[in-house]
Amino acid sequence: MTMTRIPATPIALQVNGRTHTVHAQADTSLLLVLRNDLGLNGPKYGCGLGECGACTVLVDGVAARSCVIPVGGVGARAVTTLEGLGTRGDLHPVQQAFIAEQAAQCGYCLNGMIMMTVSLLHDTPAPTDQQIRDALSGNFCRCGTHVEIVRAVHAAAACMAAADAKARA
């Protein structure tokens, strides 16, 4: 029995504000294309089932598990990875807060925690502790930095609120 290989096709993606064309099978996971074809290592391979959160990206601003999204289904939607949030010289407020609060140990869950936090703060600018825990409950952290992560989310929310107030003044 011989297996027929499905040929790769060109697929256009909007990732971190840039258009990329990759050659992949339509059912290849977005995660594999981001990491292997575009060299974006923020999203991590964790479980491959969309359960752990390590692969989280934003798709049109909404947190999504890139390991279970077929690249052919992304279409013209905007994909943002950890690398697209900020730069070394100009970090996103959530990235700054996670660093300031030392909200990481091994760092494996950090991508998912940060991307989920960005999505949460977009929808809920001043979340309670319970809202933070609920939003991040699908992101696994085995190192036990949960207290620091909650503090980082509050710090990021305060920073973003201050920036918004300044912009309106």
- The token pair at 134 is 């609920």
Q: How far apart are CA 78 and CA 64, in angstroms?
A: 12
Mean pLDDT (whole number) for 129-151: 90
Helix (H, G, I), strand (E, B) or coil at 21: strand
Mean pLDDT (whole number) for 115-125: 97
| pLDDT band at 1; cut points 50, 70, 90 | low
Task: Calculate the alpha carbon distances from 141 to 98, 118, 163 in Å.
Answer: 14, 17, 29
Q: How far apart are CA 86 and CA 26, in angstroms?
A: 29
Every domain of the chain with CATH number 3.10.20.30 lies at 9-85
Query: Which residue in this structure is represented by tokens 């207290």?
Result: 147
Mean pLDDT, the chain, as a whole number? 93
Mean pLDDT (whole number) for 40-63: 95
Query: What superfamily would CATH give domain 9-85?
Result: Beta-grasp domain (3.10.20.30)
Residue 13 has pLDDT above 70, yes or no: yes
Mean pLDDT (whole number) for 48-72: 96
Q: How far apart are CA 82 and CA 100, in angstroms?
A: 17
Note whether 2 and 46 are within 8 A (CB).
no
Q: With respect to CATH, is domain 93-168 assigned 2.30.30.100? A: no
pLDDT at 66: 98
Mean pLDDT (whole number) for 56-79: 96
Residue 107 has pLDDT above 90, yes or no: no
Helix (H, G, I), strand (E, B) or coil at 15: strand
Every domain of the chain with CATH number 1.10.150.120 lies at 93-168
Query: For residue 95, which of 108, 104, 86 has the smallest C-alpha distance?
Result: 86
Is the pTM above the cut of 0.85?
yes
| pLDDT band at 4; cut points 50, 70, 90 | low
